Structures are given as C-alpha cells and as structure tokens.
A and B are shown apart, each in its own frame.
Chain A
Amino acid sequence: MVADPVVHVLRAENIVRSFVNGAGVEVRALDGFSFSAEGPQTVAIVGPSGCGKSTFLRLVAGLDEPQAGTVVYDGTATATPSPDRGLVFQDAALFPWLTVYDNIAFGLRARGAFNRERGLVDEYIALMGLAGFERSYPHQLSGGMASRTGLARMFIGNPGLILLDEPLSALDAFTRMGIQDEIVRMQQRERSLIVLVTHDIEEAVYLADRVVIMSARPGHVIGEVGIDLSRPRDRIAEAFVAKRREVMAVLGSTGALGRHDEPILSGQG
C-alpha cells in the first residue's frame, strides 16, 4: 500500500466539557484539556477512571460538543461525525441483526459505496483473520472475533484518524495481545493517525509512539512519555519495562493512582 501523502493533524485546545450527574451536580469531565497529534503515529491516552478520556474521543468523533475550546482535525472543527474519523467502542458495538460480513459492509452501504467497493469487504475479512466467519451473527462470536469485526468495520472506511476507546479491555490477556499485533500491523499498512484511550499501561507502551498521561477529574494532561522503541516490541525487554515504569511514575506523582474509591462519572470511561 502506498503511504498516505497527507499528514493528518489533530489539535484540541483548552477544552471544557461538564455533565450533570444523577444527583443534579455539575461535574467537569475535561477542564482546559489540550492535545495535539499529527502524522502516521499512535498516541495513547492513559489516566484514571472518569478522567474524561472517553469524553475527549467523543468530541473528536463529533458525537458531542465542547462547552469551551476547539477541536480541529485537518483544518476543520469536528462538530459532526465523519467516516474519516473512525471510532471503535469498548465492546465493538456490533449490530446484532447483521452477520459479520454485513457488519463490516455497513459503512460502505451507508455511504452508497458498496457496489463500487464490495471487494474491500472480503479483503478486510481476510486481513483481520475473520475468514470463515462471514455468516456468523455477533452472538455466535467469541470476544476476540467480535473485537476483530469491530476493527474491520472501522478500518474498511480507511479513516485518516482512528479513535479507539478501550477497544480490548473486555478481552482475556492472550486474545488481547494477538489483536494488539493486528492493530500495529494495520497502522503500518494504512499509515493513519491513531488515538488510543486505555487503562492498560502495557498496552499503551506496546502500541503507542507517545503516551499522554491525564490527571483524575477534571481531566487535563499531566505528562507525556515518548516511546521510541522499534517494532515489533518485546514486552519483557529492559527498555520496554523502563518505559512502563516511567509512565507509572508520572501517574503516581499526582496521586492519580490512589483515588479509585472516588465515585466515577457514569457513562464516562
């Protein structure tokens, strides 16, 4: 595949987004959050529960609007969803009435491109290791296969920006490692910009070129660790473990790790 000539740029400045919780109290999910990323690379955002990571992804995806600040992708504000900004939810959110094939073809059909590009469906089914499962319904799939289907459904639109909202957190460790390698491979193939939100520090260090660390609510950036390790990465190499330790240190320095007993904002990762 030819490298994408366009360098994608995502810039978010001083975002404020608050919600009213069940008790009628206003809770700030994001407060003065700024973030930028560009080019084909993977940026991971880690932080404690309720720090507004998922809220940020929803803003970038165009599913939500900030109360203050701007989110700009390739020069335009992300006010509405676009197939150029792909999003994968935690448990894939597959359409239960569609087969694996039809789930993956959903975007093509919705954009009226199915007749022109139907060959892509089989291509991505093969790429994500889903061959033989085309006619299965989501309830017949294991967690790993459902996750692959969700990723294929997003990758097939060839988005320049890929937003992953804890896509693998419901999987067991072995399945997760397999799909992490799949994501690395797809990123190198499609040359897209990936923003990954995760709880899992090892996952962040394994996948990302940069790890951005957020504070507990109200969320803002408290640090960043560059991961300049070559791929494929060795999860138990000295350098890999050192990077994990570095991320942990930034998280721990603000007391972010010791506050899990706090009630989290419902619906916000």
Chain B
Amino acid sequence: MEEKLTDGEPRGAATAVRSSRRAPGPRLPQVREVLLMLLPPVAMVAALSLHEALPNIYPDDYVPVTYAPFLVICLAAYGACFVVACFVPRFRKRFGHYSGLLTVAFLVLEVLDIATLKTGYLRLPFMPSPDKVFYSVTSNVPELLNDFYSSMLLLFTGIVIGAVTGMVSGVLIGWSRICNYWFAPFMKIIGPVPSAAWLPVVMVVFPTSHAASVFLIALAVWFPLTLMVSSSIRSTDKRLIESARVLGASEPYVMFHVAIPAALPSVFTGMFMGLSSSFGALIVAEMLGVKAGLGWYITWASSWAEFAKVYSTVAIFIVIFFTLIELLFKVRDHVMKWQEGTVRW
C-alpha cells in the first residue's frame, strides 16, 4: 500500500523524490557486476576454442564455414555492449540481467556442435550441426528475403484488415443494442473456429489463395479484438458516461471520447490475443495454401529433408513474432501512460 500523501501532493512527485535519493548519479560498475557480465564472453571463447581444437568427423569431409565467424561476431557485439554498460548504469542493469541466460545459451550451442559435427552422436538429416544451420541462412539470403517479404505482406495485410474491422465491429456491438442483437451471436459462432478448420472452405470461396490467406489472418485478429472491445464498451463505468452527458456531450461524442478511450486497455489485450492467433493462421495458410513465404519454405525444405533450412526458418519466425509482440507492448506502454501501474503480461 502506498503511503498516505498530504492534500495537494501528486503521487508522481513523491516517487520522483524517493527514486532520486536512491540513485545519486552515474556510478561505475562494482567488481561483482563486471565478473557476472564477463561470463558470456568466457562461454563464447570456450565454445570457439573447442570448435577450433576438436577435429570435424561427421559427416566426412565437411568444412565448417559459419560457426566460428558467428561466434566472433557475437563476441564483438557483446564487447561493444559491455563497454557501453560500464558507463551507462541504466543499460548495465538491463544488460547484466541477461548474463546468465546468454552464458547458458552459448554453452548449449557448443554442446550441439560437439554432438553433431565433432562426434556424430546426433545423426543427419534430422540433426544438422549449428554450422550447417547458420550456413543455410547465409547461403540463401536472396530467397529468404523474398519469402520474408511475401510472408510479411500477407501477415500485415491480414492484421490491418482484422484490426480495423475488429475495432469497428467491437465498438458497434458494444455500443448499439441493435448491432449487439444481430451480430454478437454471429461473432460468437464464427470466432472460436480455428483457422485450419476454415482453410478448405475459404480456398474454395475466395478467388485466389492469397485472398483466402488474408481472410484467415484477418479473422484470427478480428475475433478476439471484437470480443474484448465490445465487452469492454458494454461495461464502461456508467458514471463516466453520465458525467460526459451532463457536461453537454452528444451520444457520438460520448462514444468516441469516453467509451472508446475507456476500452483502450482491452483493445491492447485483444490485439495481443489477435496477433498470437494470426501467427498461427499465417503458418497454416502458407503451409497448406499459398505457394510462397517462409511457412511454405519450411514445408518445401522438409520435403527435401533439408532440416537445417527448417530450423533456421523456424528461428526467423520466432524472431519476427517476438519482435511484433514486443512492438505492441511498447505502443501500449506509450498510449496507456495514464493508467496506474500498467499491467505486465
């Protein structure tokens, strides 16, 4: 519980005073912090030495090209961050936080290297060495970029259409009794059906497989957004709406300036859920429908038993999806700065 404040003093001011007392200014890192931050480069150097020292025995005549440069680049990038961290305490705190995780990540990578390339304990084609996985990216950049572009075009077209229609239908279903009567049941029936179940139907109904895929992705965003926005608008604090009406606001003004801002937290929850299921819809659409994009590339590579390509493309998907969700969180934190103690997912 926050301490009781005297009248006239905003809580923000009190917190500002308290935190400035805690951190008097930039200070240099302590020995313990530095040692902790040196763990990941130690792991990287260890991985690099083992990789160089041990002979490559599986498969025969394989010459690794990407693993060592990858480690060197990581080491250089880490070194740069380390220097910055020494002088910027705020960055140091966030950067140092990941020391343990990074250390383990590089050790695991080297264990994989030893289990594949160095001993042949894990067998091809299912378990390619890290070197082979990296090589599948560096040797294939133009095609991957092409598929990346195709996937993102599909994903963003779907997301934008889904978000716009979801907002409109959410507001209408939440605000208007008539729209609620006619469209809410429709939403509740269509919404929970997973994209994969729609696929055969939409492939027939839509003229092109691209249009069908856009529809699937838009649907995946539309449903949770509509549901969250409409339920949130229906449960808007009545006193806020009445205050606005007493202040002379017309019905449309109340809708745009009270009901919709009050529903903003739910808009972001709905977008979060919608984005998550749109990723699923994208993969389904590309693996089974359209003949382009990263999802299609995964199916194609696995049919040729090129699992290095499968793994690297899955990793690319992970990076894309993670970035998009983080981006959504950043936008939310900016838009919702009026909210007390922003909820974390």
Chain A residues at the B interface, C-beta cutoff of 8 Å: 61-63, 81-83, 85-87, 89, 93, 95-99, 106-107, 109-111, 129, 133, 136-145, 153-154, 157, 172, 174-175, 178
A233 to B4, CA, bound (A): 30
Structural contact, B8 and A107, CB atoms closer than 8 A = no
Decide if B6 touches A142 in the complex (CB within 8 Å).
Answer: yes
Cβ–Cβ < 8 Å partners of A140 in chain B: 10-12
Residues of chain A contacted by B262 (CB below 8 angstroms): 97
CB interface residues, B 251-302, toward A, < 8 Å: 253, 257-258, 261-262, 264
Determine whether B30 belongs to the interface, using a CB cutoff of 8 Å to chain A.
no
Query: Quick check: A110 and B253 within 8 Å, CB to CB?
Result: yes
What chain A residues lie within 8 Å of B61 (beta carbons)?
none
Q: How close is B250's CB to chain A, nearest CB, in angstroms? A: 7
Residues facing A in B185-220 (CB within 8 A) are: none
Is the CB–CB distance between A175 and B247 below 8 Å? no
Report yes or no: A95 in contact with B261, Cβ–Cβ below 8 A: yes
Assuming the contacts A142-B5, A142-B7, asked whether A110 and B243 have C-beta atoms less than 8 A apart, the reply is no
CB of B20 closer than 8 Å to a CB of A: no
| Distance of A63 Cα from B340 Cα, bound (Å) | 30
A-B contacts, 13 listed (Cβ < 8 Å):
A61-B246, A63-B245, A81-B245, A85-B246, A93-B240, A95-B243, A110-B248, A141-B10, A141-B11, A142-B11, A144-B8, A153-B247, A157-B248
**Is there an interface contact between B248 and A143, defined as CB atoms closer than 8 Å?**
no
Q: How far is the CA of A82 from the CA of B246 in the complex (A)?
A: 6
User: Cβ of A157: which chain B residues have Cβ within 8 Å of it?
Assistant: 247-248
Q: B249 on the interface (CB 8 Å rule)?
A: yes
Partner of B244, one of A110, A136, A142, A172: A110
Judge whether A133 and B10 touch: CB under 8 Å: yes
Select from chain B the residue with minimum beta-carbon distance to A86: B246
CB-nearest residue of chain B relative to A107? Answer: B247
Whether A97 pairs with B264 at a CB distance below 8 angstroms is yes
User: Which residues of the other chain, A, contact B5 by a CB distance below 8 angstroms?
Assistant: 142
In contact, B248 and A83 (Cβ under 8 angstroms): yes
Whether B240 and A95, one on each chain, are in contact in the complex, defined by CB atoms closer than 8 angstroms, is yes
Q: Given the known A-B contacts A93-B237, A142-B6, are A106 and B338 also in contact in the complex, defined by CB atoms under 8 Å?
A: no
Q: Which residues of B contact A139 (CB under 8 A)?
A: 11, 338-340
Q: Say whether B239 faces chain A, with CB atoms less than 8 Å apart.
A: yes
Interchain CB contact (< 8 A) of B248 among A82, A96, A172, A175: A82
| New A-B pairs, 4, CB < 8 Å, besides A89-B243, A107-B248 | A85-B246, A87-B242, A106-B244, A142-B11
- Contacting pair A110 B247 (CB below 8 A): yes
A63, A109, A136: the one contacting B246 at CB < 8 Å is A63
B60: interface (CB < 8 Å): no
